[in-house]
Each structure stands twice: as C-alpha cells, then as structure tokens.
C-alpha cells in the first residue's frame, strides 16, 4: 500500500456579492410572493437574496485572509440601479430579476476583483458577467415580465460570503465587507 503525502486542507465555499438593504429585500420578497403561484419553483429565502460579483467556490481556509487583503485593494465607486426586469433561464430553471441597464461601476467592481484575484493565483469561472438576483430555483413555468414598480437599489458596500451547509439548509456567513467610494 502506498501512503499519500498529500495533506487535505479544509476548504469553504465562498463568493463576493452585494447584499440588499432591508427595504430592497422586502420589495424583492413581495415580487417573489406575487410570482410564486405562477412559476411554482423553490423560492429563495430573504436572507439569501444577493447579487453575485464573483463566485470562487471551494477555497482553502488558509487563503481567506489573502482574499480579504486583496479586497482591501479594490477601489470602486458607489452606484445605484433599478431592478425592473424578470427573466427565466430555461436550461437551469431559474427565475431572476435584473436591471435593463446596470451601471458601469458594477462591472468595474466585478472586473477589478477578477483582475486582482487572478494576479494572486486564485482560480474561478471566467464566464461573461451576467448580474442578476435569483428569485426561484427549479421553476416550472416561464415568467418574463416587466415589474409594475421598479425596485431602486443604492449600493455602497460589498461582501465576501461563505455558503455553509447546515442541517437546516445553507447559511450565508459574511466574512468581510468593504465600502465603496
């Protein structure tokens, strides 16, 4: 029998995201309640509503400090946008909400993160950034409608979040946050 010298390092699942303030969460939940009978999917819990900036996946715990240090170097401006469009991705049965027009500051923040993390050797999915907030998973019915009343979202901070599995589902744990200029 060959003994392996590889040491398994503990890893946690993490992502960078923007979390909505309470007022925005409540407005999103109102839309979820209106759409639920139509799409019959698994609705996202209020505390899980977020706009992902960059998903990293499993990262060794000894690299979390490095992620925080890199995040400190990112400089980006505050911004706001209107969530005004509901969409559906048929391939993975997700209903989401997005803005017709996201501000350039959002894309600058996401790009700055990608560049800084790449320089430090972090690996992540480098697909084109498609900002959205997932409202339902495993949706049965296509929904593609404009909102009657757009949701205004002012953004002045962003977060590093751990997605931790528990006996009661997934828990999101903020591991750090940074203010925008």
Residues with catalytic annotation? Answer: 50, 132
Task: State the residue for tokens 């060794």.
Answer: 60
Q: How many CA atoms lie within 13 A of 81 on its CB side?
A: 22
Helix (H, G, I), strand (E, B) or coil at 70: helix
Q: How many whole angstroms separate alpha carbon 80 and alpha carbon 110?
A: 15
**Alpha carbon distance 119, 74 (integer Å):** 13
Residues 54-83: b if buried by 16+ CB within 10 A, e if exposed:
bebeebeeebbeebeebbeebebeebebeb
């Amino acid at each position: 029998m060959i003994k392996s010298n590889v040491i398994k390092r503990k890893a946690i699942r993490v992502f960078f995201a923007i979390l909505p303030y309470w007022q925005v969460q409540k407005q999103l939940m109102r839309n979820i309640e209106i759409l639920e009978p139509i799409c019959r999917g698994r609705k996202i819990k209020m505390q899980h509503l977020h706009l992902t900036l960059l998903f990293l996946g499993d990262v060794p715990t000894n690299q979390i400090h490095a992620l925080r240090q890199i995040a400190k170097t990112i400089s980006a401006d505050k911004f706001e946008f209107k969530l005004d469009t509901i969409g559906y991705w048929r391939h993975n049965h997700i209903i989401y909400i997005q803005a017709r027009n996201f501000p350039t500051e959002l894309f600058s923040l996401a790009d700055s993160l990608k560049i800084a993390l790449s320089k430090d050797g972090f690996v992540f999915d480098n697909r084109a950034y498609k900002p959205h907030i997932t409202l339902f998973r495993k949706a049965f019915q296509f929904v593609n409608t404009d909102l009657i009343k757009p949701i205004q979202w002012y953004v002045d901070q962003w977060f590093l979040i751990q997605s931790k599995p528990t006996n009661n589902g997934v828990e999101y744990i903020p591991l750090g946050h940074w203010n925008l200029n």
